[in-house]
Structure 1
Amino acid sequence: MSRIVLHHVPQSRSQRVLWLLYELGIDFDVRVWPFDKTLRSDDFLALNPAGRVPALEMDGRSYWEAGAIIEILCERFGRLGRTPGDAERADWLIWLHFAETISQHSAALTQSHIMLRDPSMRSPVVMKLEAARVGKCFDAIDARLTGDWLLSEFSAADVAVGQAVMMARRFHRIGDRPRMAAWFARIEARDAWQRANDETGLYSQEFYEVPDV
């Protein structure tokens, strides 16, 4: 098998793949890209035609879309997934892909708070709605957690949702959700999380307040 290479932008969806690779304990390389027009270059578009991260080089080809990459890696290395026929397979898939529901709201808020630098281009109403939708996602996580992890044991579903929460909590605090807060504390204590957690990247603030409407 050829060397695995992850194409990564710090504090983006590719962080969940970086974290998973550390959890799997396999050898890989990382190529860090800036969050700019170089992602639209011919070199990068050959890896991901959408011009977005992550992209993963493995087996002489490129894979893209974070959820798909996570499924492929779990199947390949036989860890942190749930195989067809497993009693937790459906729930694993649901929570793995629920990370994208959270991330779409975070992406809208990131666009509004960070990318639209002119306040006149922002919609406070939309920002407030998106932050509230993040809160609904957090409620779903808190309601799900009856044990330490989203399933009976730690899995890639915790990786995907945990990284999505890492981004989303910049726009909506975990607050009075004790089971979710304890779950996230367990995530932050994991060695692989600490290795993957980027200190710098898209965000310059720990929290972005919702503007008054």
Structure 2
Amino acid sequence: MIRLHHVALSRSFRVLWLLSEMGIEPEIVVHSITDGSLRAPDYLAKSPAGRVPALEIDGLTLFESGAITEYLCETRPDHGFGRPPSHPERAAYLEWLHFAETQAHLIANLNLQWVFLRDPAMRSPTLLKMEAKRLAITLSAVERALAGQDYLLPSGFSAADTMFGYTLLAAPHFVRLAPFPAIRAYRDRIAARPGWQRARALDGVQKFYAQDFYEVADG
């Protein structure tokens, strides 16, 4: 039994995509940010911070998408999505895994300001501009890395790419991708992968964003 606790268009998509790439379709337990299910005692026993993902697998319950990603790659190495300690790309692989979480943290801050504050007057234009700029800077680093190669690592597709996939779904709501041609080509490339397509079909309808792009008004 493999069970994924999931919210559409959240970090749990990372795990859903990796499982799909491995040919594994989990039982999906759908949660909502607002229905209280993530704060229920039985769920907090699975994920102490009350967040997704939580993955029940191999008699364990794991939380934190990066840790789940490393576990899946290490326990199912035949798929080739990890880079073991002896691999020359091991250091770069680990850097990209965790850099993806830097991006996700910036997106979480932007989500909090734009989506979850009930009173728009509580938003900070200064913070919104600063966090969007920081997100754009991280995207610039990815743009440079993708120059002349198809995926984040020169050797090809890896779980580093599945960690970054969530960013490609959420970041365009806050940073325009026109200045990032390599990222746009990369997005098209991964969207053509059968594993991505299966994961997106299972992902569900996102309930975060009411508009395609969130612009901070000047003044």
- Using structure 1 for the length normalisation, give the TM-score: 0.95
Instruction: Say which is worse superposed, 132-141 or 27-36, in terms of deviation.
Output: 27-36
| 2:185 is aligned with 1:182 | yes
**Is the contact between residue 128 and residue 211 of structure 1 (CA under 8 Å) also seen in structure 2?**
no
Q: Which residue of 2 aligns with 1:116?
A: 117
Alignment partner of 2:33 out of 28, 32, 35: 35
Deviation, structure 1 residue 27 = 4.0
CA distance in 1, matches of 2:43, 2:132: 32
Superposed CA deviations along residues 71-100 of structure 1, whole A, max 9, x for unmatched, are 000111112110111001111110011111
Deviation, structure 1 residue 57 = 0.4
CA distance in 2, matches of 1:7, 1:102: 22
Code of the aligned partner of 1:147: Q
Deviation, structure 1 residue 162 = 2.2
Alignment partner of 2:14 out of 13, 16, 30: 16
Superposed CA deviations along residues 12-52 of structure 1, whole A, max 9, x for unmatched, are 10011111110011242111111122201011111111110
Q: Which residue of 2 aligns with 1:148?
A: 150
Deviation, structure 1 residue 212 = 2.1
Superposed CA deviations along residues 82-128 of structure 1, whole A, max 9, x for unmatched, are 01110011111100111111011100110111101212111000000
Listed as ranges, the gaps of 5+ residues in structure 1 are none
CA distance in 2, matches of 1:10, 1:137: 23
Q: Which residue of 2 aligns with 1:26?
A: 24
Aligned residues: 211
What is the percentage of aligned positions where both structures have the same residue?
Answer: 49
Q: Which residue of 1 aligns with 2:132?
A: 131
Q: Which residue of 2 aligns with 1:69?
A: 68
Superposed CA deviations along residues 157-197 of structure 1, whole A, max 9, x for unmatched, are 11111222321121001112221111111011122212222
Q: Which residue of 2 aligns with 1:202?
A: 208
Instruction: Say which is worse superposed, 203-212 or 93-102, in terms of deviation.
Output: 203-212
| 2:172 is aligned with 1:169 | yes
CA distance in 1, matches of 2:44, 2:183: 37
- Using structure 2 for the length normalisation, give the TM-score: 0.92
Pair 178,27 (structure 1): closer, same or farther in 2 beyond 3 Å? closer
Instruction: Say which is worse superposed, 130-139 or 26-35, in terms of deviation.
Output: 26-35
CA distance in 2, matches of 1:126, 1:27: 39
Superposed CA deviations along residues 120-171 of structure 1, whole A, max 9, x for unmatched, are 1110000000000110011000011130011121111111112223211210
CA distance in 1, matches of 2:58, 2:13: 21
> How much is the aligned-residue C-alpha RMSD, in angstroms?
1.2
Q: Which residue of 2 aligns with 1:57?
A: 56
